[in-house]
Amino acid sequence: MTQGIIERLGFIGLGVMGEPMCRNLLAAGKWQITAFDLDPAPLARLRDQGAKAAGSPEDLAGEADMIITCLPGGNEVRDVFFGSGRLIERVGSGQILVDMSTSPPALMRELAAAASERGADFADAPIARTRQAATDGSLAIMVGADQVVFDAIRPVLSVMGSDIMHCGAAGAGQVIKIMNNMVLFQTVQALAEAVTIAEGAGVDGQTLLATMAKGSGDSFALRNHAMKSLLPEVFPVQAFSVRYAAKDLAYALDMAAEQGVVASGAINVAQRFEEAIAGGYGDLYFPVIRRLLKET
């Protein structure tokens, strides 16, 4: 188990969430940071702010005490560690690997075992909340790790998030993140249906949501996804897209199948996501599923 001081960070994955997260780590001025991404643009922006650019994930391995991955999903995480990136072959004793992507819990346990064989430690630390939260450093971060590892990485995570929660052993953070998203997606679909039905019945959508926010129908999804996206019908491309949501929901349904649970609500939303992708909405912010209701 790691006992060392974290002085050098590696950051792999500088997308919509990863770039502002890495920027906050740079702004903290506490660590030397080496970054990598397939897209040279965010890498150049962060290099201008003091990051060192790595030529590949394996090159980055020797430059960091703690390596963070923030990638689109499990397929990319597996490729970086076990496939073309070959990162797992380059890590060693005293290093800590932290996956902040949303990935299958089974992959997290596999990574934890592979890291342990090389004398390294592992934590899964998926993130929740918005792109603005990533910019503000106010993400919610759900961590699956041994207590000693959690204590070691918490100062780093606290620069990127305001709520850092220890959820259990490796994989537990992903379980909770995936269940959180499963509930969120179902709530957003219910809100999309409610707004569409209410407006069709002659009730103003803003009035509906403002009134629901005072009662038992209130939720984070109502105050954010519904009021800021569903109602004004603002569905940007550079946000949590239908494709990403469908990926996360597929992880939830895989977990449900493993437990023998027929997750009918999640199955219904997964079908709606498939329809949205088929309709050309796959790259838009996932509350765009409201358009499907308006088109029927």
Query: Residues with catalytic annotation?
Result: 177
Contact predicate 13/71, CB 8 Å: yes
What dihedral angle (degrees, nearest 10) is formed by the CA atoms of 172, 176, 181, 182? 100
Distance CA 294, CA 199 (A): 11
**Tokens describing residue 91:** 């890590």
Contact predicate 276/282, CB 8 Å: yes
Residue among 79, 65, 63 nearest 13 (CA): 79
Contact predicate 209/231, CB 8 Å: yes
Q: What angle is formed at CA 254 by the lines to CA 82 and CA 76, rounded to 5 degrees?
A: 25
